Amino acid sequence: MRIDIPAGSDFTFANLPFGIFSTPGTSSPRAGMAVGDRILDLAALATTGCFDFDVSVFSQPTLNAFISLGKSVTVRARSQVQGWLQDSTNSPLTPEHLVDRHTATLHLPVQVGDYTDFYSSREHATNVGRMFRDPDNALLPNWCHLPVGYHGRASSIVVSGTPVRRPYGQILPTGSDTPVYQPTNRLDFELEMAFVIGKDSPKGVPIPITEAEGYIFGLLLFNDWSARDIQRWEYVPLGPFLGKSFASSVSPWIVPLEALEPFRVMGPEQDPPPLDYLRTRGPAHFDVGLSVELNSETIARSNTKYLYWSMAQQLAHHTSNGCNVRVGDLMASGTISGPDADSYGSLLELTQNGTTGDFLQDGDTVTLRAYTGGGDQRVGFGEVTGCIQSAINPDTL
Ligand code: MN
């Protein structure tokens, strides 16, 4: 059978990202692949006996078990499907294996174990440092020597489309020395990408940088919602806490690292050169265009190639003390800002900390998008979207 991919679709045969979906007809969440405007139901396809591994992994409500089979299985499964989609001879695919993507409900694709957020965009770290600390010494001394990060909260990671409730928090009003407990007035988004860990690593053993990408299953879009006023009061000296843990949104489709291979690029020159355990050769970055829409208006465009620290460097550093990682762990990049004023990945930067524009209002919808390549080689991430709901007064509960 033949599947037509609409022009401009993120989900070409070159992409084939994995996700978890359900349909009105079959409400149990199961594994699928996005293809054009359809979803290939992998659980249904597997009943034809076309795969030679334990296909019960496709009938589970997360991709963790499938990912745990390892790249030797997941890469081969994807390329088998790629072949069947493009050559109908000997293809087990039938129209019953495909569902209309727009009638499906998309779920969180993995059960996230641990979640880490890095701070790997030099432009973002510089912009924030200028505003919050010292304009002349925006970057702290460690920044160019290691990928700075913090351990985040996995419980509040939600799939695209989930509304985001404006959080209450402790805030220090301007000019006051006494904090108040109230809804945030400085609700923001952060334009990020995240990668999903595809292989457990042993405790006590760092992942060498040359092997780091073998531990990356794939990537998705990530919006690290942030309450800047809560964040500003609480973050000293241990870093982000409740200003970010109320919600983070991910796109529903995980783009396998393999799909991004043709789009590798060299990252920015690293000066000073990193220590040996963080040193890479060759292109370890990816050229993926990013955009932010606020209420359907594009307000920023950026690119993952602007990141200073690569995913391999982030993972090598994360495990450099022997900290292990597990399948389903999520590592986010940090806000990806570019060099120009229309390439900033947060309202904090786009509005100069609220001086040239507003932070998010109730009812606002923020949508992040990403893609690379074009035509029938386009590899897109779809979108991650979220609408802001008004705060709930805790006194009324
Ligand atoms: Mn962040």
The three-state DSSP-derived secondary structure of 187-204 is: EECCEEEEEEECCCCCCC
Region 316-340: mean pLDDT is: 98
171: which DSSP letter?
E
Instruction: Evaluate whether 13 touches 82 at the Cβ level (below 8 Å).
Output: yes
CA of 80 to the centre of ligand 1 (A): 36
pLDDT at position 91 is 93
Confidence of residue 133 (pLDDT cuts 50, 70, 90): confident
Nearest 10 degrees: CA dihedral of 27, 29, 33, 36?
A: 40
CA of 224 to the centre of ligand 1 (A): 5
How far CA 228 is from CA of 17, 132, 170, 341, in Å, comes to 33, 11, 11, 20
Residue 156, exposed/middle/buried by CB under 10 A (0-12, 13-18, 19+)?
middle
Tell me what the pLDDT averaged over the chain comes to. 97
Reply yes or no on whether 124 is catalytic.
Answer: yes
pLDDT at position 90 is 84
Q: How far is CA 392 from the centre of its chain?
A: 28
Residues 344-367: tens digit of each pLDDT: 999 999 999 999 999 999 999 999
pLDDT at position 396 is 86
Residues 25-69: tens digit of each pLDDT: 888 999 999 999 999 999 999 999 999 999 999 999 999 999 999
Which among 68, 55, 54, 58 has a CA at the least distance from the CA of 18? 58
Amino acid identity of residue 84, one-letter, is W
pTM, 2 dp: 0.97
CA of 27 to the centre of ligand 1 (A): 34
Query: Catalytic: which of 124, 285, 317, 318?
Result: 124
pLDDT at position 35 is 98
Task: State yes or no: cis peptide before 237, omega within 30 of 0.
Answer: yes
d(CA 148, CA 158): 24
Amino acid identity of residue 218, one-letter, is G
Other Cβ atoms closer than 10 A to 342: 11
CA of 193 to the centre of ligand 1 (A): 10
CA of 336 to the centre of ligand 1 (A): 9
d(CA 298, CA 221): 16
CA of 195 to the centre of ligand 1 (A): 14
Q: Specify the range with the lowest mean pLDDT, choosing from 50-59, 86-95, 188-197, 293-302.
A: 86-95
Listed residues: CB within 5 A of ion ligand 1: 117, 190, 224
Give alpha helix (H) positions in the chain.
42-46, 64-68, 71-86, 122-132, 228-234, 311-318, 347-350
Residues 140-165: tens digit of each pLDDT: 999 999 999 999 999 999 999 999 99
CA of 248 to the centre of ligand 1 (A): 9
Q: Specify the range with the lowest mean pLDDT, choosing from 87-96, 192-201, 256-265, 330-339.
A: 87-96
Per-domain boundaries in the chain: 18-107, 115-396
Please say if the pLDDT value at position 1 is more than 80. Answer: no
Residue 233, exposed/middle/buried by CB under 10 A (0-12, 13-18, 19+)?
middle
* Tokens representing residue 292 in the block: 């932010």
Residues 196-243: tens digit of each pLDDT: 999 999 999 999 999 999 999 999 999 999 999 999 999 999 999 999
d(CA 379, CA 361): 32
Phi, psi of 354 (to 5 degrees): 85, 5
Superfamily of domain 18-107: Fumarylacetoacetase, N-terminal domain (2.30.30.230)
Class for the domain spanning 115-396: alpha beta
Nearest 10 degrees: CA dihedral of 313, 255, 384, 21?
A: -140
